[in-house]
Chain A
Amino acid sequence: MSDKGLLTSPVDLESYSFDGTTSWQSKPEAVVFPTTTEQVSRILKLATEYHIPVTPRGAGSNLSGGSVPVSGGIVLCTTRMNKIIKVDGDSFTVTTEVGVVLNDLNQELARNNLFFPPDPQSFLAATIGGCVSENAGGPYAVKYGVFKHYLLGLTAVLPSGVILKLGGNTVKNVTGYDLPQIICGSEGTLAVITQVTLRVLTLPPAHKTVIAVFDKVVTSGQAVHRILTEGILPAKIEMMDNWVIRRIEETTPLGLPLEAGAMLLFELDGNTAAVEREAEGVIKSCQQTGAIEVRAARDSEEATNFWTARRAGFSAVYGASPTVFAEDVTVPINRIADLIAKVEEIAKNYNLTIIIIGHAGDGNLHPSILTDKNNVEHFRRAERAVNEIFLAALDFGGAISGEHGIGLEKKRFMKQAMQPEAIDLLRGIKKVFDPAGILNPGKIWEDR
C-alpha cells in the first residue's frame, strides 16, 4: 500500500478513537485505507498471522460503540472504496463498493428514477458498508423494512484473507444457509464486506405529508396503532414529544402549540389516488383518537419544512447534554403506548429528563436520557433508568436494539435479551469465521 493509505501519527489516531456515541473512546495503533478487495485480503491475512486486532470502520457515525477500536490494533477504514459499480434499472439492483455514502447512492439512483428505501438518518455520513454491518434502518421501515430486506449478495473477506462471493442478485435465493444475512448486522465481527448488491425499487410517483398534534405522548401511540389496524400503511410515522416540539419552535418555527405533548409526522407514498385516500384515513383516525390538530402539508415545500424540522429536532437531542443515552428499544406495535407510559413513569421515579422520539410506526423508540458521565451520581441514576427501559421493552415482547446494534453500548444487557445457549451459538459462529478472534474483538457479548 502507498504511504497515503496509512496513518500512524498520534494526532491522526486520536481522531479514529470515537464513533457517534458519547461514552466510548479508544485509540488504534494504525489506520489503513484499502482501495481494493485484494488489499483488504492481504491486510486481514497479515493481521491473523500476527494476531493484530482489526476494527472495520466506515464513516464512524454509528451509535453503538461498534467501530471504536477498544483492543487497539488496526482500524480498517473503507471510505476510499467508494465507487458505485453498476446501477441496473432492468433487474432492479445496484452493485456498489462499501465506502459509498448512502446519500450519494440515493442521488445516483434518483437520477435513474430508482429508490432505495432504508433510510438511517445518518445518510449524509453513513457508508453502505456500515449500514449493512449494522443492519440499519430508519423512518421508512414501517412500510419498506430495513437493510437486510434489500441485501441480495455481497463480496466479503474472511480474517484468513479468503475472498468470498455470497448470495446473488435475485430476491429469492435459498441456497444453503443464508450467509449474506449472517454477515449483515454482524457489526464487523465476522468478515469485512467490500461490495454489496442491493435490491432497488422505482420511485413512487406521489408523496403526501400529514402532521398531527396530541395532548399526550400516550395518545399519539394509540393513534399509530389505530391507523395500522385500519389497514393504512404509511411510508413513515415519526413521533416527537414536547421537548422536541419546543426545540423545533426555537430553531425552525412551524407554529406548533408549545404545550402539546406529542406530534406525529406521516408520509404516505404510492400512486396519487391511493396517497390521497390514505391521507384522509390518517387524518380521520387521528381525529378519532383525540388529536388537538391534524392536517396535510399544503405543498411539497411545507412537507420538506416539516421533515427538516423533524431532523433538526432529533439532532438537538444528541447535543442536549454532555452525555446522552439515545436508546433504541423496539416493541410489538400494539405495545407502543404501554412502552411510552412506562418510560414516563421511569423518568419520574428517577427524576431524569427522558426525551421520547422514534419511528413509532414500527415500534422503534429512542427514549433519550440526558445525563453527564462526569456527574457520578446522576450518571448512575441514568444507567439504572436505561436498565429499566430495557427490561420493560423485553417484558412487552420487544428488543433492546432496533437499528443501532449492540456494539459496546448494550453488550452488558445481552444476557437479559438472549438465552445463554443462543449467545453460545453466536460465539460458535464467530469462531468458525474468525478462529484467531482478530475481527472487531470485544463487541456484542461479554467475555465469560
Chain B
Amino acid sequence: MSHYPTIDDANKCMKCGFCMYNCPIYKVDHIESHVARGRNMLIRQAGDKSIPTDADYGERLSYCLLCGRCAAICPAKVPSPDINVAARTNFLSQNNLSIPKQIIYRGILQHRNMMAGLLGIASWVPGISVKDGKPLRHMADFTSILTRGLSLPKLSRPFLSSRLRERTLPPKGTKSRGQVALFPGCAFEFFFADIGQGIVDVLTKSGFEVIYPRDLTCCGLAVRSAGDLHTAQLMASHNIEKLSSFDHIITGCATCGSALKEYGNWFSPDAPLQLKAQSISNKVSDFSEFLAKEGFESQIDEPLTVTYHDPCHLKWHQGISNQPREILRSIEGVKFVEMEGADDCCGLGGAFSIAHRDLSLSIQDKKMQSIKKTGAKVVVTSCPGCLIQLKDGVRRNNLPVEVMHISQLMRGKRKP
C-alpha cells in the first residue's frame, strides 16, 4: 500500500516522547528541537503559520539522521523521517537551494555522465584516487579540510562500469540459477569499485548471471533527504525506466536499497508513475537479504573474529538485521561476536556528519568503543556510508581493526 507522507502526518504525534529513547542525536544533546517529537511540533506550527519558516527553523530540520529509529518505536506509527523530508521539501520551495547545492543535486548527481566526467578528471589528481589499492597521499589532508576532518574514500580508477561487462556469467562449471540486475549506487561505481566487483563476484560464484544496466543514475536519496523532491523524482523516474525489464534487482548499498524499496512512496498516489515505481520497489533486494535466502558459496583463508554493524538504512528502513548475521555465522572460519549497541547509528547521516561534525563524532566515538570491546579484527557492515564513517573512526582512534563490506568477507580474501 502506498503511503505518500505529508507534513499533515505530524498531527498524529501524541507527544509521548518515546522517540527520545531511540534518537541517536537526542541521546547526545537532549535538545527537544532535535528529536522527532519536538520537530513534529515545529513542523505542525510552521504548517499553520504560527511560527516563521526562517533559517533557524530550516536548520532544526537538518538535526536529523533520517535513521528511522523514531518511527520504529512510535506507538502511533508516525512516519517522522518522512515528515521531516516533506518539511524540508516545503522549506526548500520557499527558500532556494544554495548555488553549490543546486549544482550538486540538479547538475551532477542527476546526470551520471557529468558526474563520471568530473570525477574522472578528479581521479587523475594525485591523492584523491586509488590505483591498485595504494592511495597517493598528497591531497588527502586537503580534501579533509573541506569535510571538516572526515576522511573521504579515494576515487577508484577506473570506475566500476569500466571494469565490468554489461553481463557477467557464473564461472564455468557453476550451475546457473537465474539472472539478476545490479544497482551499484554511486559509492560502488566511483569510490569502492573494487567492492562493487566483489559483489558481482560473489553473486556469480553463487550461480547468478549479473546484468549491470548501463546509464543508471544516482538513487536520489541524498537529494530527496535534502528536500529537493522534484529532482529526486526525476532521478527515480530515470532509474525506474532502466530497471523495469528485470525480475530481481540487487544492491549492495543499504542506502540505495532503502531508496529503491521506497520509490513507490516518492510519488503521490495520483502520479502516473506511482504504480510502476511500486512494482520496481517490490523487486528490490539487499545483497545479504537475497543471498541469505538463495544460498551462496563462501569460505575464508584464515580464522577471523568478526563483528557486525547494522546500517540504519538496512535495519530500521528495511527491517534487515538477521540475514547478514546468518551469513557471517555460516562462513567457515568466522568467529562472530556481537558488539554492544550493534544497531546504534555510526553518526554519518550523509551531509549531517559535515554540517554537525561534533555531534557526529560523539556518536562515532560510542561506536568505536563498542567495536574495541569485542576484540574483533574485522567489523563488517553493508552500507558504503557506514564504511566511510567506520573507517574514519578506526583511523582517528588508531584501532587495529579492518572495516569491510560484507561481500569482501564473503569473497574469501582478507585484503580488499
- A4, A16, A319, A322: which contacts B32 (Cβ < 8 A)? A16
Cross-chain contact B31 with A12 (CB below 8 angstroms): yes
> A260: CB under 8 A from chain B?
no
A122 x B33 contact (CB < 8 A): no
Stretch with Cβ within 8 A of B (4 or more), from A157-165, A210-218, A308-316? A308-316
Q: A228: CB under 8 A from chain B?
A: no
Q: Is the beta-carbon distance between B14 and A15 smaller than 8 angstroms?
A: no
Check if A101 sits within 8 Å of B21, measured CB to CB: yes
Closest to B20 in A: A125
**Which among B37-45, B99-107, B399-407 touches the partner chain?**
B37-45
Contact status A15-B18, CB under 8 Å: no
B362 CB to closest chain A CB (Å) equals: 12
Q: How far is the CA of A175 from the CA of B16 in the complex (A)?
A: 39
CB of A15 within 8 A of CB of B42, answer yes
In the complex, B73 has a CB within 8 A of chain A: yes
For window 6-54 of chain B, which residues contact chain A by CB distance below 8 Å?
Answer: 11-18, 20-21, 29-33, 38-39, 41-42, 45, 51, 54
For A318, give its contact among B14, B21, B39 (CB under 8 Å): B14
A119-130 interface mask toward B, CB cutoff 8 Å, 1 = contact, 0 = none? 000101110000
The residues of A that contact B77 with a CB separation of less than 8 Å are 251
The docked-state distance in angstroms from the alpha carbon of A322 to that of B8 is 12
With both chains docked as a complex, state the minimum distance between the C-beta of B95 and any C-beta of chain A, in angstroms.
15
Nearest neighbor of B38 in chain A, beta-carbon distance: A15
**B178 located at the interface, meaning its Cβ lies under 8 Å from any Cβ of chain A in the complex:** no
B30 lies within 8 A of A61 (CB): no
Return B69 CB to nearest CB of chain A, in Å.
Answer: 12
Distance in angstroms from A224 CB to nearest chain B CB is 25
Cβ of B75 < 8 Å from any Cβ of A? yes
- Beyond A11-B51, A14-B41, A80-B30, whether A122 also contacts B17 by CB under 8 A is yes
Say yes or no: B30 contacts A33, CB within 8 Å: yes
Query: When the two chains form their complex, are residues A18 and B17 in contact, meaning their CB atoms are under 8 A apart?
Result: no
A124→B15 contact, CB < 8 A: no
- Give bound CA distance, A16 to B45, whole Å: 13
- Tell me the complex Cα distance, A319–B11, Å: 9
Among B13, B16, B20, the one with the most A-chain Cβ atoms within 10 Å of its Cβ is B16
**B295 CB to nearest chain A CB (Å):** 29
- The reply to whether A61 and B51 form a contact with Cβ atoms under 8 Å apart is no
B residues within 8 A CB of A33? 30
Q: Are A10 and B56 in contact (CB under 8 A)?
A: yes
Q: Flag whether B57 is at the interface (Cβ < 8 A).
A: yes
Does B76 have its Cβ within 8 Å of any Cβ on chain A?
Answer: yes
Once the chains bind, are B57 and A77 in contact (CB under 8 Å)? no
Q: In the complex the two chains form, is B21's CB within 8 Å of A311's CB?
A: no
- Complex CA gap A18/B32 in Å reads 11
What string of 1s and 0s marks CB contacts (under 8 Å) between A6-41 and chain B? 010111101110111000000000000100000000
Within 8 A of B (CB), among A112-166: 122, 124-126
Within the complex, what minimum Cβ distance (angstroms) separates B302 from chain A? 36
Q: Is A103 an interface residue (CB 8 A)?
A: yes
Whether B12 contacts A319 by the Cβ 8 Å rule is: yes
B190-221 CB contact bits vs A (8 Å, 1 = yes)?
00000000000000000000000000000000
A124 partner residues in chain B, CB cutoff 8 A: 16-18, 20-21, 73
Contact with B along A270-314 (1 / 0, CB 8 A): 000000000000000000000000000000000000000001100
The CA-CA distance from A322 to B10 in the complex, in Å, is 12
Closest to B78 in A: A319
The residues of B that contact A59 with a CB separation of less than 8 Å are 17, 20
Minimum CB–CB distance from A192 to chain B (whole Å) comes to 17
Complex Cα gap A18–B76 (Å): 18
A122 to B16, CA, bound (A): 7
B41 touches A18 (CB 8 A): yes
Interface pair A311/B42, CB less than 8 Å apart: no
Knowing A122-B17, A125-B18, A312-B75, say if A11 contacts B32 (CB, 8 Å).
Answer: no
The smallest C-beta distance from A32 to any residue of chain B, in angstroms, reads: 12
Q: Is A79 an interface residue (CB 8 A)?
A: yes
Are B17 and A125 interface neighbours, CB within 8 A? Answer: yes
Q: Are A311 and B75 in contact (CB under 8 A)?
A: yes
Closest 8 interchain pairs by CB? Answer: A125-B17, A315-B75, A15-B38, A318-B14, A15-B33, A79-B30, A15-B32, A61-B17
Give 8 A-B contacts (CB < 8 Å), ordered by A residue: A4-B29, A12-B60, A15-B32, A33-B30, A60-B32, A316-B75, A318-B14, A319-B14
